[in-house]
Structure 1
């Protein structure tokens, strides 16, 4: 659009540092490549300790969080600290690079307080990028719909009411924006989190990652309560101890609040020697693990949040041509289609049986892997989402 280079974007993200957060970084670089000036405010993290730096023309301002929250009180402290620093740094950006739009990525659903302030007093625009459905996330973590659940629904509603435009990661999230958030459908844009094939490169396997075994089952993601790592380890236990499949190793990539607990669970189940926990690792090591894997898994627990959410790991597996086993969830099927086998909800035994089915059928693995790779290349890669992101910004600035 004419004069686009004069527009300046400030992206707010609280749960991951940039450029580690792949969706945020893809959005930021896409906007920058299309003439927008982009700044980001985010927390520090392992490998991203600098409080200010410029990467690929994007100004990144970071703040330090006291700890990684777990429990209601922990989240209250974390989000309070994050809001304080985000508001402080927003003023810093305003007096340095400046901004015309606040692009807020949840969680938490409290960034509307900052967006609303600058919208009301500084005439800025506010775009909400809906990454997580926080009421359902709360229910998944704590197993209840109490006062705090209702409070999160209220925060979500106020966020949508404050937003000039919102971005949804899939059709399920768009429905929430319209029904629970009361947004005009014309102001809700679906921008999926498609992988970039220049990052998700197919490389030769690293056989040492199999630890002398014939097969490797790969996982990449967060080690948290709703990610179902405990269910995956129970599947591994059944596969190894009950079915006698000692020819399989499991490579689990990622960090999170449950990492140490899951390591101990693997030991308690007697399968510690069959599981590698890498923690958070650089892209090169992540790609080595996934390229070596014969199949990849997504054990996300079947609940309201995961059923409606699109998981980046699914499309990353597909981008590398890997067949998948996951529990049967709505958006998981939308993404993977025939690239995946679907186990019964939260059933570790059925997941183990599906894993064995794939391991014992090389032709099926190849067919499913090719389907997934082609689906990403022809439909789901990030380049197909770029016009949708730019259309959302056209709507933000439309008179």
Structure 2
């Protein structure tokens, strides 16, 4: 059992984790949380969407996973409401199934969306507790995507407040999110803890490079992550065009790893710009292949544009690049600068030409890349690896659920 001072009595305590944004175990943060809690002696169930080919129920690494069929990707507002309603109803139904089969003492709800407080309040009637794991600032996400506020923004702020008011504890991904919970959400500071999305060093380690991934080029620059409207992959593609056309550098291969709603649009964009020779997409790939890509790459790319959301969000890919010893080129964002420190080159926000220029300068300076690589590895090992976050998470649940004497 985890240590938290005194003798802990946690026998039989169970946690139900709810996530809608990504399936598990693909959602790495949620999966590391779930497995860490199992290793600490808690019983853990997870409800998430189901990828094609996944079983509706499975026990993986000691975690009991319940899945519902994923709703097809949507774009229109009405379609989005249908998708949201479907996912919410399926989650509620499966929570009843979990309650009957396995039971639980606390719901650990990951946003988006900011509506599972309704589930929390329902189960509080039966003595359950509610923990809000704050992954995204949805009001800022809306403002960043649509460039305005208005009534929808006000509704999102109201929903966020209900999350904070319902929660017995709030988990923030960084200090910026913690301040939102305290200042905007009115949460008592001692009820908010920071659990960073650090890499699992058992998963991120270098292997033998595969030169064929460079496709005959001298350098390989990698993007790893989600491909949504706010993730900046379109900025990266335009920066790649500057590398090739503005600066005449045809010796850089770009590999884009991951998936998301706008990936087809991004592939079409790269093709229309005549970049097929320099830019290719892999989709989601297994861990072994990912390690090979990251071990072969010379630079990691973080093209997230500066906006109200990205500036205060911690990017998983940044610390994952650092764990693999990759120097980084990134737009200058508050939380990225905190995470990466001297492991990144910082570019004037949203300036694609400068992004390309700084990338070329870094590729042409192997000594600097080596210094940045060593700094990044050291910072992750000493401060940002998941092992540091795991202790905070386990301590939270120890205090919330376990009697100490």
TM-score interval (norm. to shorter): over 0.9
Structure 1 spans left out of the alignment, 5+ residues: none
The 5 A counterparts of 1:195-214 are 195-214=199-218
Name 1:3's counterpart in structure 2.
9
Structure 1 residue 328, shift from structure 2 partner: 0.2
Q: How far has the Cα of 1:148 moved from its partner?
A: 1.1
Q: Does 1:155 align with 2:145?
A: no
- Preserved CA contact (<8 Å) 1:127 1:396: no
Q: Which residue of 2 aligns with 1:22?
A: 28
1:112 alignment partner, one of 111, 114, 117 = 117
1:138 match: secondary structure: helix
1:398 deviates by 6.8
* Distance (whole Å) between structure 2 residues aligned to residue 175 and residue 71 of structure 1: 33
TM-score, with length taken from structure 2 = 0.96
Distance in structure 2 (CA, Å) of the matches to 1:68 and 1:288:
30
Q: Provide the C-alpha distance between the structure 2 equivalents of 1:369 and 1:285, rounded to a whole number of angstroms.
A: 21
The offset of 1:397, in angstroms, is 3.0
Q: Secondary structure at the match of 1:266?
A: helix
Question: What corresponds to 2:302 in structure 1?
Answer: 298
1:50 Cα deviation after fit: 1.1
Match of 1:55 in 2: 60
For residue 38 of structure 2, what is the aligned residue in structure 1? 32
Q: How far apart are the structure 1 equivalents of 2:71 and 2:199? A: 31
Aligned residues of 1:328 and 1:344 also touching (Cα < 8 A): yes
1:173 aligned residue (174, 177, 183):
177
In structure 2, the partner of 1:267 is 271
Cα 1:178–1:398 shift into 2, 3 Å: farther
Partner of 1:354 in structure 2?
A: 358
Question: In 2, Cα distance between the equivalents of 1:393 and 1:72?
Answer: 38
Q: Which residue of 2 aligns with 1:309?
A: 313
* 1:288 to 1:71, Cα distance in 2 relative to 1, 3 A: farther
C-alpha deviation, 1:65, in angstroms: 2.6
Give the TM-score of the pair, scaled to structure 1: 0.97
Structure 2 Cα separation of the partners of residues 287 and 258 of structure 1: 24
In the TM superposition, what are the counterparts of 1:208-287 in structure 2 within 5 Å? 208-287=212-291
Matches of 1:63 and 1:303, distance apart in 2: 33
Corresponding position of 1:42: 48
* Deviation readout 1:88-115 (Å, 9 max, x if unpaired): 0001001111000000011100111111
What is the RMSD of the two structures over their aligned residues, measured on CA atoms? 1.2
Where do 5+ consecutive residues of structure 2 fail to align? 1-6
Alignment length (residue pairs): 397
Whole-angstrom CA distance in 1 between matches of 2:293 and 2:378? 21
Distance 1:107 1:63 in 2: 17
* SS state at 2:115 partner: coil
**2:4 aligned residue:** none
Structure 1 window deviating more from structure 2 (66-75 vs 300-309): it is 66-75
Q: What are the equivalent positions in structure 2 for 1:306-385 lying under 5 Å apart?
A: 306-385=310-389
Q: 3-state SS of the aligned residue for 1:341?
A: strand
**How much does 1:27 deviate?**
0.6
**Are the aligned partners of 1:5 and 1:37 in contact in 2 as well (CA < 8 Å)?**
no
Does 287-296 or 96-105 show the bigger shift? Answer: 287-296
CA contact 2:10–2:402 (8 Å) conserved in 1: no
Q: Which shifted more, 388-397 or 290-299?
A: 388-397
How far apart are residue 195 of structure 1 and its match? Answer: 0.5
Q: Relative CO higher for 1 or 2, CA cutoff 8 Å, sep ≥ 6?
A: 2
Query: How far apart are 1:46 and its partner, in Å?
Result: 4.9
Separation in 1 of the partners of 2:322 and 2:74?
31
Which SS does the other structure have where 1:252 is aligned?
strand
Q: Following the alignment from structure 1 to structure 2, what is the Cα–Cα distance between the partners of residues 46 and 70?
A: 21
